[in-house]
Chain A
């Protein structure tokens, strides 16, 4: 069957098998920026924004979100044009192996859209679904706080 998405701002049509999860479909079509393979929604590495809300693609049926607006990490910022959150993660030492990073930034991005001035608890709560085994989270949390500052600077 066919599905349509607005993917990172572009209209896309994909051929899928019914029952296929979004993670497998998007990676098959080359969206390798989506990581993860727990297929239980437990690690958060495969998170994208679906209509603005962070979701794990490994537990989302591709057919179920037909027509949705999907944003991957590359829809937030790219290697030559990074989003302040990505810059903040780099500068604050929040990227070690980097495998969980796209998912964590997706969650942080959604948080800052909703709460532009989050508390530490807000940040911890937002990142709760994105497991990281390298950083111990402290520098990730600092990075989100720093991104808030960077974003305010952008607003000026």
Chain B
């Protein structure tokens, strides 16, 4: 194979210098004349009916242009989940609802000449609530007699609204009961994970305006421009042809921006007032009223033979989807579908799940998307089984994990909220990941040694992981590539770089395929008027699906360029050409022509066509990236504080398109995971109000909180992805909870069954408080 010039190289992120110099590239960095400022009124009650809402006083305030409530907005049931159509999330909300279902649910919005006026007007809105009893625990919520959270007529896609059950899943292969009976050792444990927020440093922001011809334009910090267009059209009742959605640079998303939560409001304000409208969440709103991670209670049971081979695995997940069901079904699907195939040696596998409404803030998509919760339980259970079997945890995992060429019945049985697809693993470096990670952390020297320094005891732990690359047979991306006179190319694609570096990956793919430099690729994305469709940034699909689309388009352009060259060279039957340094060279005759010459020729001399092509990509499989995480920690017996000493992430994401970007995705995800494992936690009042909505009280990691971090990238080649690439965005957020949990057990022989691992929980387990 020809040596790759740009794939696998550290090409600088193409937008980095603009960002590092503070160019006005984010949603809220532009202002429009006569812009209205939109602010929201939120419910102080966890569950109530709005008996009456009086906005007259608010509307009288000078500078107030419009007040919106359920009374004067379209009551169209929809989902805020920015998913493909038909969305697997229930239609259970309107732009404003007559019933409020958590503290922070939206009651009204004011559009005014300034934020101050809007805020003043909010205070003048009089709301009379009929307070209903609320339920916060998902176990209570699905019991007979619990308050029914969604009793509105017309609600769609809910499994059993009367029981607050958004979804119920049962999937199995073989016979787990028989499997457990025939096992020599069985362990069964329950683990709980908690609410958390994505905390993009740029909060949600959206600005809408009418263009010169009266069409609605929405500039928004979104991960899903095309789904925004479709769902806004649905909610406010205008065709997609009247809407243009523009994605500027995005200040982080992590799943929180895979939701339509501000766009439909600013759009409606603009439609009603014919003026630009802007809404930007405060940090407090981001915590309370945007989206969170689904907390779950997961019971996992594993049966194994004496030699360690798994005989049966069953998993039950109870997911708390809060007040609305966005992503409820699909996140819980991934608890099973992204974890159970990892241990395909077990012939008997069962996955069951329930998803419950409660009167708490709304979980949605969050990096890891159910796999995080699933691995929190599964990878600790595997360690507990190893202990019972007396087998080294590494060895136990080696015996049972999926190998190249193998499959799992779960791939077919369970997709995202529906049946999955059969797939065979075509690339898998897990054994090497385990080996190299173990060596880097010093596994065999340190495991079980409990090295003590005063009150501090060291421990090490590990976990292995997989994820997917896009949603097979669902996700589609498309791209257009066109040639310019200087031999450069415009790439117009619908993919959504939210800070990940996808636009750079795209430039590398095009440069490699067409024999030009990455800086000769002008990447534009995403804009629903200008670029072809793409599902957006989620499900670890950027490089794999959007990159795959760009690659397919580039191959078509390559063919067109070669046709021109054949004609120019008079070598119609030749197949041997090389594209490099902006030229096409005939290997037969050594003749060459530059891409610039081809452009001039086709534009002005032969005048027969614009060299350009559009192509799409969708995948029949979702090749999993794999990872092995290792961590060394120190537990202070006196204070209960867990301190990380070193974290090792060994990762197989297929062909590495850009090592520095892969490393950034890896470290960024695992540091987010470390925060989730140790300090990040929603605290609620007894009435269901989140009481720590700021970075003062909700502690995300800062530069001083990170341990020594070592990433080990082991390259494989997956034939399904562009240049052999798989995904890397999500997988590494899944490791810290189980790996640190296992390390805590190694240090002090305490098994914490709920995250985060706070000093209080450690001290309680040590019977010190």
Interface residues in chain A, defined as those with a beta carbon under 8 Å from any beta carbon in chain B: 32-40, 42-43, 45, 72-74, 77-79, 82, 86-87, 89-93, 95-102, 105, 123-125, 127-141
Contact = CB atoms under 8 A, between A and B. Distances in A.
Given A90-B17, A102-B21, A136-B664, 9 more contacts: A32-B29, A39-B283, A42-B694, A82-B17, A89-B20, A93-B10, A98-B15, A101-B19, A128-B703
Interface string B191-211: 000000011111100000000
B72 interface: no
Which of B19, B25, B252 has the most A CB atoms < 10 Å from its CB? B19
Contacts of A32: 22, 24, 29-30
B709 A99 contact: no
9 contacts: A33-B23, A42-B283, A74-B21, A86-B17, A90-B13, A95-B20, A135-B668, A136-B670, A137-B703
Interface of B: 10, 12-13, 15-26, 29-30, 198-203, 249-252, 254, 280, 282-283, 498-501, 660-661, 663-664, 667-672, 694-696, 700-704, 706, 709
A134 B694 contact: no
B446 to A, nearest CB: 23
A80 to B, nearest CB: 9
Contacts of B24: 32-33
Given A32-B22, A133-B198, A141 B703 contact: yes
A129 B702 CA distance: 7
Contacts of B280: 37
Given A131-B702, A135-B668, A136-B706, A72 B22 contact: yes
B254 to A, nearest CB: 7
Given A42-B695, A93-B10, A131-B702, A35 B660 contact: no
B282 A95 contact: no
Contacts of A95: 13, 15-16, 19-20
Given A86-B17, A127-B703, A96 B499 contact: yes
Given A97-B498, A99-B202, A135-B667, A90 B704 contact: no
A140 B671 CA distance: 13
B671 A99 contact: no
A28 to B, nearest CB: 9
A132 B701 CA distance: 8
Contacts of B704: 124-125, 128
Contacts of A43: 201, 283, 695
Contact of A132 (B16, B25, B201, B283): B201
Contacts of A130: 702-703
A90 B703 contact: no
Nearest to B698: A42
B254 A38 contact: no
B668 A134 contact: yes
Contacts of A96: 13, 252, 499-501, 664, 668
Nearest to A93: B660
B664 A101 contact: no
Given A42-B695, A97-B201, A136 B19 contact: no
